């Protein structure tokens, strides 16, 4: 699309979604209200066909389970159709076609383009090439704005508001776009404190830290989650992003270096809630899954109503 139009009324209409930092708190409140509306419709089995006749392109140049399937479920439950692909091998990129040409085709075929790519900046570039709105479903280690929207919405439903809480973000803060986008999202709110907990090799990158500092996020680094767990309301965990390591030996040095166990969880407040964008690998002991603190499956379920809200608002068909 190019050109962002901010504003509180209909802030999403026709808009690209590249970074959570492009949005305001009131934009997100508007989105969450619409997500609430769709959540009720889903529970009643009464989803209006607001996307009848609309085509959503799902351009996944990199693997995905939840993001792709929840966009697809959202579009189809709303009566829309989807086209797309799930890897570069499946399309003419394998024959040498450029990214820009692939996006131009989707721009001609569909009404909105959802893009995931291993390279930073791919979604922004797609938005420059395409006339139709582009939604970033993850660009390398940089942004994952719709995941951050789901995460903040989850916190809102669990605690009433993301404000005033103590957060710990645990894991690969160097490469995880989900963790980074969540931290960027928290800068739109007023958390009491945010602990960044990562192995030293995977600490947050300087350019990300600069944004958090400039935006006044009250964060501090902690070397061990056990030191802070008693204070924490929301523990946000991410896996080590193995595929982003330039050197497999570096991955070997950090693999298995943190793990959330039932013993750790029991040290926290009874009201502690654990979020994770998923997929999880070995950083959460599976015994934690059945504890009341585990909120990650609930979080994943919110991907559908949130993305319904986003698609209908961008396409200008949500009336609430």
Site membership for ligand NCD, residue 135 (CB under 6 A): no
Which residue minimizes CB distance to ligand NCD?
A: 277
Site membership for ligand NCD, residue 144 (CB under 6 A): yes
Q: Which is nearer to ligand NCD, 11 or 149 (CB)?
A: 149
SS3 117: strand
202 — phi, psi (to 5°)?
Answer: -115, 25
Q: Which is nearer to ligand NCD, 62 or 107 (CB)?
A: 62
- Single residue of 127, 278, 304, 310 touching ligand NCD by CB under 6 A: 278
The minimum distance between CB 230 and ligand NCD, in angstroms, equals 27
The minimum distance between CB 48 and ligand NCD, in angstroms, equals 27
Site membership for ligand NCD, residue 312 (CB under 6 A): no
CA dihedral 116, 151, 187, 11 (to 10 degrees): 70
Binding mask 213-242 for ligand NCD (x = CB under 6 A): -------------------------xx---
Q: Which is nearer to ligand NCD, 11 or 124 (CB)?
A: 124
Q: Kindly report the CA angle at 140 between 189 and 252, in degrees rounded to 5?
A: 105
The minimum distance between CB 181 and ligand NCD, in angstroms, equals 8
Site membership for ligand NCD, residue 304 (CB under 6 A): no
Site membership for ligand NCD, residue 74 (CB under 6 A): no
CA dihedral 76, 58, 125, 32 (to 10 degrees): 30
Site membership for ligand NCD, residue 145 (CB under 6 A): no
Which distant-in-sequence residues (6+ apart) come within 8 Å of 63 by Cβ? 86, 87
Cα separation of 49 and 231, whole Å?
A: 45
Site membership for ligand NCD, residue 70 (CB under 6 A): no
Site membership for ligand NCD, residue 138 (CB under 6 A): yes
Cα separation of 111 and 116, whole Å?
A: 17
Q: Which is nearer to ligand NCD, 77 or 144 (CB)?
A: 144
The minimum distance between CB 199 and ligand NCD, in angstroms, equals 16
Site membership for ligand NCD, residue 178 (CB under 6 A): yes
Cα separation of 297 and 277, whole Å?
A: 9
Site membership for ligand NCD, residue 177 (CB under 6 A): yes
Site membership for ligand NCD, residue 147 (CB under 6 A): yes
24 conformational bin, left if phi > 0, alpha if psi -120 to 50, beta if neither: beta
**Which span (2-10, 53-61, 161-169, 276-284) binds ligand NCD, by CB under 6 A?**
276-284
Cα separation of 312 and 34, whole Å?
A: 9
Question: What are the CA-CA distances from residue 175 to residues 12, 99, 180, 202, 290 (Å)?
Answer: 28, 23, 8, 7, 28
**Which span (84-92, 200-208, 244-252, 272-280) binds ligand NCD, by CB under 6 A?**
272-280
Among candidates 152, 180, 167, which has minimal Cα distance to 244?
180
Which distant-in-sequence residues (6+ apart) come within 8 Å of 7 by Cβ? none
Interacting residues with ligand NCD between 189 and 218 (CB under 6 A): none
Residues found near ligand NCD in the complex (CB under 6 A)? 66-67, 138, 144, 147, 177-178, 238-239, 277-279
């Amino acid at each position: 699309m190019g050109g962002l139009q901010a504003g509180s009324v209909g802030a999403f209409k026709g808009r690209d979604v590249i970074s959570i930092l492009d949005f305001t708190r009131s934009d997100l409140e508007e989105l969450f209200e619409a997500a609430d509306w769709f959540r009720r419709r889903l529970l009643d089995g009464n989803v209006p066909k607001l996307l009848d006749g609309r085509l959503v392109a799902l351009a996944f140049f990199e693997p995905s389970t939840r993001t792709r399937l929840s966009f697809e479920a959202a579009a189809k439950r709303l009566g829309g159709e989807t086209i797309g692909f799930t890897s570069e091998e499946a399309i003419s990129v394998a024959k040498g076609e450029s990214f820009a040409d692939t996006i131009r085709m989707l721009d001609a075929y569909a009404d909105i383009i959802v893009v995931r790519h291993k390279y930073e900046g791919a979604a922004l570039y797609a938005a420059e090439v395409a006339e139709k709105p582009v939604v970033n479903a993850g660009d390398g280690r940089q942004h994952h704005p719709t995941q951050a929207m789901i995460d903040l919405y989850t916190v809102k439903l669990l605690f009433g508001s993301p404000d005033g809480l103590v957060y710990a973000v645990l894991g690969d803060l160097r490469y995880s776009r989900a963790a980074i986008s969540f931290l960027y999202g928290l800068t739109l709110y007023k958390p009491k404190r945010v602990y960044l907990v990562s192995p030293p090799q995977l600490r947050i990158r300087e350019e990300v830290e600069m944004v958090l500092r400039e935006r006044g996020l009250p964060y501090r680094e902690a070397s061990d989650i056990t030191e802070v767990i008693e204070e924490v309301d929301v523990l946000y965990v991410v896996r080590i992003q193995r595929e982003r390591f330039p050197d497999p030996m570096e991955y070997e040095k950090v693999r298995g270096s943190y793990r959330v166990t039932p013993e750790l969880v029991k040290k926290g407040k009874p009201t502690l809630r654990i979020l994770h964008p998923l997929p999880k690998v070995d950083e959460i002991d599976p015994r934690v899954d059945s504890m009341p603190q585990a909120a990650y499956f609930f979080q994943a379920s919110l991907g559908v109503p949130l993305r319904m809200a986003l698609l209908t608002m961008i396409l200008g068909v949500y009336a609430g």
